[in-house]
Each structure stands twice: as C-alpha cells, then as structure tokens.
Amino acid sequence: MARRSGLTLLLLLLPPLVLGRGPLPLVLNTWPFTNTTDAAWRTLASGGGPLDAVEQGCATCEREQCDGTVGFGGSPDELGETTLDAMIMDGTTMNVGAVGDLRRIKNAIGVARKVLEHTAHTLLVGESATKFAESMGFISEDLSTSASRALHSDWLARNCQPNYWRNVVPDASKYCGPYKPPGFLKQEGSTYKETGNNYGHDTIGMVVVHKMGHTAAGTSTNGLKFKIHGRVGDSPVPGAGAYADDTAGAAAATGDGDILMRFLPSYQAVEYMRQGEDPTVACQKVISRIQKYFPNFFGAVICANVTGSYGAACGKLPTFTQFSFMVYNSLRNQPTEEKVECI
C-alpha cells in the first residue's frame, strides 16, 4: 500500500503530457527548408546533442540564404543594410543565447550559441553584439549583396513603399523620410497598421527533441524587408521566436514578429502542451488567441512534445491558406514536408 501511494504521488507530481508517443528523435522546422532539416538530423545521427542540431540546422539556412529571409544578402532595412536576429534555447537547463540587430556577422545562430555558452546574459544587440562576435572569433564582413542593394534601390524608387512608419510627416504612405512627429505629443490613432500582402517573411524556426527527451529550439532571420533601422523582431525573444522545456516540449514561430512577440506564442504553446493539449491543438489555440486581436495577422507556429508528437497551425489569409513545415524522425529515411490548412 505504501509503495502504491508513493507511485500515485510521483505520478501526480509529474507534468501532464499528451498520451500516445511519437518516434524519437525528432527534428521539426518551419517552411520547406529541406537541407536545414537534414543538417540537424545528421548532427544528431553523428552523436550531437539537440543544441548542436539546432545550431547546425539554422546555420545551414543562413549559409544558403533560405528564401532570402535568412542570413546575409536579404531583407535590407530602410538604410539598405541587412541585419540578423537569432536565438538558441536549451530546454534542459533553460539557458538561452540570442542576438538582435546583429551587423556584419554572417553566422548569427553561432553567435547566439556563444552568448549562451560564454556569458551570463541572454540577449546582445546591435554594434555591441558585433563586437562580442568578433571577440569570439567571428569575421566581420559586409552582409549586403548585389541582390539586396537592388531591392533597396527599387524600394527607394517606389517612394519607400511599403514602410513601417505611421503618424509622421511627411506622409509615410506617399513619401520617403526622414520623418518627424506631426506635432508635440500629437497622436492620430494608435491602431496597428497591418501590412497588406507582404507575406514573404520566412524565419527559420527549429525544434529538436533528442531520443532521451531533451529539447532545444532556435531561430534565425534577417527580419522584415525595409524595416526601420534598429528594429528587432520576435525571433531572438525567448518565448516569442522559440521556447523549449524538457518537462513539456518545444515550439517555434514564424511570421509578423511585431505582433507575435506581444503574445509569446512559443511559450504559450509549450504551456498548453504542459496542460495536456495535443501539439496541434496547442498551436491552434495560440493562433486563435492572436486572431482575437489581430484577425489579419500573418503567422504560424510549430509544436512538439517530449514524447515525439508534433503539430503546426497558421492564421488564414487570402494569399496564405496553407503552411508547410519539415519533419524528420526515426520512422523516416529523409526529411518530409507536411502541410496544414490555416485557420
């Protein structure tokens, strides 16, 4: 009887998990970036841990400039410069390393890993993040390419449209800056201006669950095209861009980071899974929560629990009705693209 009571107490203390196990290890990432998935899987297969897999997977995307939205040479800001955001999180220790507005360093996820391993901090930003990267042995080099310079030139020729300014003079919907407030403390509305059909933003978000159930998650991106200089999105923010916790699972988000970071969707998804929600349902609940406030927001979330079950969800828009993500686990002999219908 004492032994049975002890077992009952142990079960009550354990975090609730979804019933039904999936095959482990598991690699999950946003968008159909096959080489990224494969790099992470090969890292695990060669004896690497989940942090190693996330780093190598995201680094592959950075080198390959996935869809021009990850790594160097893409998404110039309004001054024409490409800057990078990245984050990596260890779900065993809850340690995080991240960089935002990283300049002139190609391997953002690698710098984020150094922040995790060699500092007591979580997030370094801007020029100071670059100096830290240089002290860690990373090479400083121009992240612009002929393609990114052409994008910026075309944007200037279109009178700087689209942009992310509001309530300024001159009229940001018609003219380039520099911009100023229309009057001292004058406010002309505070409603978020959603950015129309600009849905081409594809952050790499990755979740890895080791065969022993240890988790890691990470992100890398060059942010929004023509963003205001210095803008940092959700990707390097723990709980927003990604989150991992060995006692429940891991998640990562992609989409409009300025909205996503307000809801900490990755953290919220992990908490839903902790409460026993299936990963797909957890992702859907996160998307629905955001849609209550921003029905036209662009975004998606991937989720996995520590038993290997996984899922994804996305917010439906006229030009975005399906979301593709990659899966690799022990039942497959190659990375597999899966799709979900947006809600």
pLDDT, residue 141, reads 96
How confident is the model over 15-70, as pLDDT tens digits? Answer: 333 334 679 999 999 999 999 999 999 999 999 999 999 999 999 999 999 988 99
User: Does residue 95 carry a pLDDT above 90?
Assistant: yes
Res 201: pLDDT? 58
193 band by pLDDT with thresholds 50, 70 and 90: very low
Determine the 3-state secondary structure of 36 from DSSP: helix
Amino acid at 314: C
The pLDDT mean for the chain works out to 90
Position 183 scores a pLDDT of 78
For residues 41 and 26, give the distance between their C-alpha atoms in angstroms, rounded to a whole number.
8
Question: Is residue 9's pLDDT more than 60?
Answer: no
Average pLDDT over residues 267-283: 98
Collect all residues with Cβ–Cβ distance below 8 Å to 44 and sequence separation of at least 6.
25, 27, 50, 52, 53, 208, 210, 211
- DSSP calls for 195-260: -TT------EEEEEE-TTS-EEEEEEE--STTPPTT---STTSBTTTEEEETTTEEEEEEE-HHHH
Mean pLDDT, range 277-286, rounded to an integer: 98
Average pLDDT over residues 151-177: 96
Does the reported pTM lie above 0.75? yes
The proportion of the chain whose per-residue pLDDT surpasses 90, expressed as a percent, equals 86
Among residues 202, 147, 207, which one has the least CA distance to residue 33? 202
Q: What percent of the chain has pLDDT over 70?
A: 89
pLDDT of residue 12: 39
Which are the catalytic amino acids? 203
What pLDDT was estimated at residue 21? 60
Q: How confident is the model at residue 187 (pLDDT cuts 50, 70, 90)?
A: very low
C-alpha span between 21 and 44 (Å, rounded): 20
pLDDT value for 202: 72
Q: pLDDT tens digits for 108-140?
A: 999 999 999 999 999 999 999 999 999 999 999
- Whether residue 282 contacts residue 303, with contact meaning beta carbons closer than 8 Å, is answered with yes
